[in-house]
Amino acid sequence: MFFPDSNSLINIGKIVKTFGINGHLIINSNFFLNIDFNKTQSIFAYWDYCYVPLVIEDYEQRSDDLFLIKFQLIDNITVAEQLSNTKIFAFKKYIVLDDVNLYDSPERLMNFDVIDKHFGSLGIVVGILQGAAPQLEVSKGDKTIFIQFIPEYIFKIEWNKKIVFVNLPEQLFEFYELK
């Protein structure tokens, strides 16, 4: 079995539930359409502590972020149910990244270093809190801060170096007692 390096994969969403009795699944993904299907037809489900490759047989977009997917070799509801509520991944090299939909998919910044323009290193993105304005959960040592993922705070991202540059207001540093 092939075991991809987790650093070469990116979380693209989640398998939400089954659909019908023939193994179709509903996935929630903000950037499923960013996959370059000319180069790959596989994604990976993180199931039972490993990345399981799934070959896409067919898909249909149901809304902005919901897709009906049919995978090869998954042909009944019993097998499909085992994949419900699992995260799905794709190779980073097959994802077309652009800043247009950056704010729709903050998950892409997991494990990135966060550096403030004036304060310096704030830590590493260890989580994403979803909501009306998602927040990056950034940890350094025993300190954790939450940064709203909004254009006013994020001023530059270096994708190759995995760094997010931010320009945070002074009040945030006072709130987290960083100064």
Q: Which of 48-57, 106-115, 127-136 has the lowest mean pLDDT?
A: 127-136
Say what percent of the chain tops pLDDT 90: 36
Residues of the chain with CATH 2.40.30.60: 6-96
Q: What is the pLDDT of residue 152?
A: 83
Q: Which of 105, 108, 117, 110 is nearest to 166 (CA)?
A: 117
* Residues 7-16 pLDDT 10s: 678 788 899 9
Q: What is the pLDDT of residue 138?
A: 93
Q: What is the pLDDT of residue 6?
A: 54
Residues of the chain with CATH 2.30.30.240: 104-175
Q: At 179, which amino acid appears?
A: K
* Nearest-angstrom CA–CA distance, 36 and 31: 11
Q: What is the pLDDT of residue 125?
A: 92
Q: What is the pLDDT of residue 84?
A: 92
* CATH code of the domain occupying 6-96: 2.40.30.60
Which CATH architecture is the domain 104-175 placed in?
Roll (2.30)
* Nearest-angstrom CA–CA distance, 43 and 71: 10
Q: Is the dihedral of CA 18, 77, 46, 42 positive or negative?
A: negative
Residues 6+ apart with CB under 8 A from 109: 125, 128, 136, 157, 164
Residue 141 zone, left/alpha/beta (φ > 0; ψ -120 to 50; rest) = left
Residue range 15-26: average pLDDT? 94
